[in-house]
Amino acid sequence: MERKLILEDGTVLTGQGFGSSEGKVLEIVFNTSMVGYQEILSDPSYTDQAVVMTYPLIGNYGMAEADYETRIPTIGALIVREYNDMPSNYRSSQNLRSVMEQYGICGIEGVDTRRLTRHIRDHGSGKVLLTDAATPIEEGLQRLRRTELPHTAVSRVSRIDVEEIPGKGPHIVLIDCGAKENIVRSLVRRGARVTIVPWKMPSDRILARRPDGVLISNGPGDPIDVPETIQTVKELIGKAPLFGICLGHQILSLAYGASTYKLKFGHRGGNHPVKDLRTGRIEITSQNHSYAVDAESLRRTPLQITHINLLDQTVEGVSCEKDRAFSVQYHPESAPGPEDSGYLFDRFLERL
């Protein structure tokens, strides 16, 4: 199947299609990870996004049942240089194409992903139309101009019902804004009892469950699109230890009165160096976000900056010792990826 990518500035790239054939308008971003396409495909944080994979060969180790970050992937599309439809991996149960067809995810291969990544770096992330190669360019541009990207991603990926996972250790309430399963696995491995609640559960219902601590998860989109969660976290401050990851980091910062802004092309990959300002230690981290906390805005809050990104000096972590609250912009639960930051789960549980 011949397919076409049309960007907002009129740039056009063509290739062969795989996965779903449905045409879509999405936000285009890139990820520099060398492995982990299954985790990327199934990460709820990529909802409504077309992800350019900078590593050239995708699909070669198939899809393993144990490696999903959510059971129903909501990513918009994958854009790759070369797709491999014959995986070699004893753990694989399906190939990537069949999974993408099952969940309505578009794919295009044969694209010059180096050129496309440079375009995103130069011009920033924006809208892209994945469509049939026969679609006239002007028609595609008109569709891009009249289509607004939705602001409802969190509500579409969060659990609707409460889920209880037994454990003999401390009780953690996880606010699900699009939580990756490896966050849950990381807590359970440490013996925690985990209660996963929907993104807009009020604070009084969370406190009624008598949690030892509350974790605010990762998730898709702009943090200001979830004012209900921000209000909930604001009301939880000082009443329970708090830990935020990625979107949860932004939500916690907003709850304290800071502000956020959109990065030019975001951070997505498994090799971002982050410095812990308290110890001087540098961690190699996995990241996936479009927005960042404004460092200047933190001056009017009791939050202290604890971590910074060494590539662009953006805020990567904050903390308020008095309230036993802290958060990081990166992913300590990354899998596959660097394991430098797993200690953050231990630190959270120690604070309880």
The region that residue 39 occupies, defined by phi over 0 for left and psi between -120 and 50 for alpha, beta otherwise, is alpha
Tally the residues of the chain: 352
Q: Report pLDDT digits (tens) over 97-150.
A: 999 999 999 999 999 999 999 999 999 999 999 999 999 999 999 999 999 999
Q: For residues 93 and 192, what is the distance between their CA atoms, to the nearest angstrom?
A: 30
The residues annotated as belonging to the active site are 246, 331, 333
Note the pLDDT of residue 261. 98
Contact 240, 233 (CB under 8 A): no
Q: From the CA atom positions of the chain, what is the Rg in Å?
A: 20
* Per-residue pLDDT at 336: 87
Residue with tokens 């520099």: 32
Name 5's Cβ contacts closer than 8 Å, sequence gap at least 6: 11, 12, 13, 14, 15, 28, 79, 108, 111, 116, 128, 129, 130
**pLDDT reported for residue 306:** 98
pLDDT at 90: 96
Nearest to 308 by CA among 339, 332, 272: 272
Peptide bond into 336 cis (omega under 30): yes
What average pLDDT values come out for the chain (352 residues) when binned by 10 residues? 94 96 95 96 98 98 97 97 96 97 97 98 97 96 97 97 97 98 97 98 98 98 98 98 98 98 97 96 97 98 98 98 98 92 96 90
What is the DSSP track for 269-283?
A: EEEEEEEETTT--EE
DSSP structure string for 110-171: S--HHHHHHHHHHH-SEEEEEEETTS-HHHHHHHHHHPPPPS-HHHHHS-SS-EEE--SS-E
Query: Rounded CA gap, 332 and 347, in Å?
Result: 12
CA–CA separation, 303 and 298 (whole Å): 6
